[in-house]
A and B are shown apart, each in its own frame.
Chain A
Amino acid sequence: MTTPRWRGTVIYLGSLAAIGAAGFTKFAVLAPTSTSPESSTDGTAAAAGSVGTGQSDSTTDPATSTGAGSTSDAGTTTNDTVTIVGSSVQTRYGPVQVSVTFTAGQISDVQALQVPGGHHESVQINARATPLLAQEVVDAQSAQIDTVSGATYTSEAYAESVQSAIDQRG
């Protein structure tokens, strides 16, 4: 039996069509409805209080509005505490976004709002990496931190998001 000519190429073109259709459905058709729940489930796990409101469009920089919101929030507290949301940084594994809390001019806390990955198991990796990264930032009082092995991309994007928060604080 001879192999039908071009059958392999036809299968390839069919695969390309399937890939394109899957991508179109996922990213163009479903994206507007599923972006916010997706990122909020990813991000709100550790996010505190009013900070979550800055998430409506995670790809643009929401820091100003949220920063303002947080500042008013901070006004009710006794200390000079302000929480600023850093920019959302795309990595090949997904977006990374943090909020940085400043207490009396010092970085007192960092919370991960968005972390990469669509699997539930990503929680495990981030459960390991994000506290380490947060501690590094608090220790260094800057975004000059070492990467956590096994989470290189997350670490780099984490630092970038922290830096953007620091820059906004001025």
Chain B
Amino acid sequence: MTTTTWEAPPLAPLAQPRRTRARSGVLPTLWLGVLAVLVFWWTGTAASTGGTPGGALMSLGELAGLLASYLVCAQLLLIGRVPWFERGIGFDRLVAWHRSLGTSVVLLVLTHVALMIVGGSLLDGLSVWSEVPAVLATQPYLWPAVIGTVLFVAVGVSSARLARRHLSYEVWFAVHLSIYVGIFLAFAHQVAGGTHFVDSPVARGLWILLYAGTAAALLTWRVVLPLVSHRRYGLRVSAVVPEANGLASVWVHGHGLSRLDARGGQFFLVRFLTPGHRATAHPYSLSMAPTDDHLRFTVGALGDHSSAVADLRPGTRVQVEGPFGTFTADRATSDRVLLVAGGAGVGPVRALAEELLAQGRQLVVLHRAHDAASLALAAEFTPSPHLTYVPVPGRRAQLGYDPLDPQHLRGLVPDIASRDVFVCGPPAMADAVVRAARAVGVPRSAIHREELDS
């Protein structure tokens, strides 16, 4: 398989410009759930519980525990590849929310533990140090919950920014997987010992339903459906083609891939089932609109595993999850579009350009790279009346200026203010382009960005 050259198709009828997607109800639903937990605590708590400081502290500790427990389910659902969430929010933002809530959950769990111990010791008239063994001896399933808490803290610490810098992906991932054990261990003490559950079969039933529903969602969308599609599509590496300095295209062959309904600009979580790759799934963007039997990913030499794709043998089985991402052609609101690609960002930009052209839009492609030898896929941007390809090679230090600052950007694309701007590349470059575009008068709603960070 060689790289395809691709020509601008004849002007197609202009697609109806679509507004950006409707606001999704996912996050409001999540906050409503928090409110429901508060109401649940409220109705299940007698005001006389607060008659003693110990009772009040323990009751608040229970509320902290309930919130943490609910947010754990929310967190799992956010990264559960639930289609409704993916369409409404997008993979990147879901992961970001998952991370934020992770911090909250670990802190709430620790708050719960502290309040239960302090409140309990006041209530039982014991010192804090003798309260702990006393509670462990009497409360049901508290020992497993203690182990679960340790796992929660381990996952939280290993995911902190500082730790992530020093941990390999594999170590982090292994620690992260252990959270399922932690959640399982912490569950029993909630329904068997929590004051809001021991007395109430209804509350217990609802709480079990929350956890069972979360588990079912995870099983469906993270285990069963990926396995089904893995069998159905039968994806294998068919070729690895070096494109430019540090960039290579991985061609993946399969059957009936149109059913994936993938679009240019989207990405998959890709896992190559071969030693050295098996443990990690990488977010790779399509670098051409997918055909019924081929996907192509153009991968940069970023990260330790991405760079090793050059060694992949044809025939290697491939597992994908996706497609993800909202960096797609239907975000465009104008019939004129500027695409800015940096480094490996040229892959999604190339795929996006294909679809935007098919919609009859008029494109300018700015291709930024350190040097001319790094301009991957340049030959595929065949100039036409609908496509202007502008390579911008050279490091800023050598050029003596930043070709993406407002002044130079306007020089390269005089009508930029009337265009949609799609930018894909390293975060710093994407930031610079967004700033420059705003400075020269592109409305925020017309700027669409995708970062490549791993």
A121-161, CB < 8 A from B: 121-122, 124-125, 152-153
Given contacts A8-B100, A35-B51, contact A19 B67 (CB under 8 A): yes
Given contacts A19-B64, A22-B42, A93-B198, contact A9 B107 (CB under 8 A): yes
Write out, one digit per residue, whether chain A residues 10-35 have a CB within 8 A of any chain B CB (1) or not (0): 01100110111011001110110011
Chain A: which residue is nearest B35 at the CB level? A18
Across the interface, do A4 and B96 meet the contact criterion of CB distance under 8 Å? yes
Across the interface, do B56 and A12 meet the contact criterion of CB distance under 8 Å? no
Bound-state CA distance A18–B34 (Å) is 10
Interface residue A2 (Cβ < 8 Å from any Cβ of B): yes
Please name all residues of chain B whose beta carbon is closer than 8 Å to the beta carbon of A93 when the two chains form the complex: 195, 198-199
Q: Tell me, rounded to whole Å, the shortest Cβ–Cβ distance linking A60 to chain B.
A: 10
Can you pick out 12 interface pairs between chain A and chain B where the beta carbons lie within 8 Å of each other? A1-B93, A19-B64, A31-B48, A42-B46, A59-B48, A59-B52, A90-B51, A90-B55, A90-B123, A116-B195, A118-B45, A118-B46
Across the interface, do B195 and A121 meet the contact criterion of CB distance under 8 Å? no
Across the interface, do A28 and B60 meet the contact criterion of CB distance under 8 Å? no
Bound-state CA distance A16–B111 (Å) is 9
Chain A: which residue is nearest B59 at the CB level? A23
Q: Tell me, rounded to whole Å, the shortest Cβ–Cβ distance linking B245 to chain A.
A: 26
Q: Tell me, rounded to whole Å, the shortest Cβ–Cβ distance linking B142 to chain A.
A: 12
Interface stretch (choices B200-208, B215-223, B230-238): B200-208
Please name all residues of chain B whose beta carbon is closer than 8 Å to the beta carbon of A62 when the two chains form the complex: none
Across the interface, do A27 and B63 meet the contact criterion of CB distance under 8 Å? no
Across the interface, do B100 and A4 meet the contact criterion of CB distance under 8 Å? yes
B438-454, CB < 8 A from A: 451, 453
Across the interface, do B63 and A90 meet the contact criterion of CB distance under 8 Å? no
Across the interface, do A59 and B63 meet the contact criterion of CB distance under 8 Å? no
Bound-state CA distance A127–B56 (Å) is 26
Across the interface, do A28 and B50 meet the contact criterion of CB distance under 8 Å? yes
Chain B: which residue is nearest A22 at the CB level? B38
Across the interface, do A1 and B451 meet the contact criterion of CB distance under 8 Å? yes
Across the interface, do B67 and A15 meet the contact criterion of CB distance under 8 Å? yes
Q: Tell me, rounded to whole Å, the shortest Cβ–Cβ distance linking A89 to chain B.
A: 10
